[in-house]
Structure 1
């Protein structure tokens, strides 16, 4: 019998928390079992590929979440690009719990993780860049500027997460998201004048 979806969500949330806080290398099976509320044997039964399969499940789960809550919002053409950008930024706040959560790409790109998950991380980053570049073009930015803004947006998000965590200051993350919004929308207003 298939486990309940809520249980699956709880297991993935526990795995995510461990990988975000410890990275791939330092996450022990004991840490992962404790965070999910499962015994080690149950965890291996669910993930016979071990820790690597657990991390892949986390990457897949978060990719689905981002696709639904960030990328679809950015691509939902029934609303203006300005509204879509703000809604996507609001969802990014949720994803990173206002800057409290480490980016899973960063957590899994350390030490052994980068060799194991390089393709998934690269694919995920490229999807983020494409989505932000597309919203920039919809806001009437030229292609080069839209691409530059997409890269700068990712740098702002990732850099602010590191600083927020290191300095224990959630305003850093909040300010970075405001800068992203202002960069896109202020340039758009100048273009319209």
Structure 2
């Protein structure tokens, strides 16, 4: 058996870049082939259900990354709230390259993508809300206040990403994260 040209994580990182930049409908198999260095036949060998399976794999990969790096940091028992926030937001900055990268949920929820990936996207958004609500609860906020803050946090992060891209100003993203951190402390 021939060794793989690209390992699974490198493959998913490459696919993520294209889907983030172009969305589901805007991404062609040629672009996916070009960015990974794999022929279309090799991509189909790894993803028999084609582009949809590639996008689902990207969503699952990103979900695991977010859980391992962001949610675990935000909810790590034994750390103070300030340390949780600092570590979690450091990883959020990393996930979105300081506001330069789009959210994969936004990229894949355009046009037909929302129909195809609604369950995965909805589940992912709810996981973000739960993580931030749990953070608020760990800070002795009431259930209702923790839930409201979690929702506003997700709105603020997503909105700041769109504005940062649209206005080509990553300070918007950074300033928003600082405001969220201040709101929690």
TM-score normalised by structure 1 residue count: 0.92
How far apart, in 2, do the equivalents of 1:175 and 1:3 lie? Answer: 45
Partner of 1:37: 37
Equivalent residue pairs, number: 185
1:28-107 aligned within 5 A? 28-107=28-107
Question: Structure 1, unaligned stretches of length 5 or more?
Answer: 186-193
How many Å separate the matches in 2 of 1:58 and 1:174? 25
State the TM-score, normalizing by the size of structure 2: 0.96
Q: Superposition RMSD on alpha carbons, in Å?
A: 1.5
CA pair 34-5 structure 1, distance change in 2 beyond 3 A: closer
Structure 1 stretches of at least 4 aligned residues deviating more than 6 Å after TM superposition: none
Distance 1:55 1:132 in 2: 26
Higher helix proportion: 1
Give the structure 2 partner of residue 191 of structure 1: none
The Cα of 1:4 is off from its aligned counterpart by 6.2
Say whether residues 1:147 and 2:147 are aligned partners: yes
For structure 2, list consecutive stretches of 5 or more residues without a partner in the other structure.
none
Say if 1:43 and 1:182 are closer, same or farther in 2 by CA, change over 3 A. Answer: same
Tell me by how many angstroms 1:137 deviates. 1.1
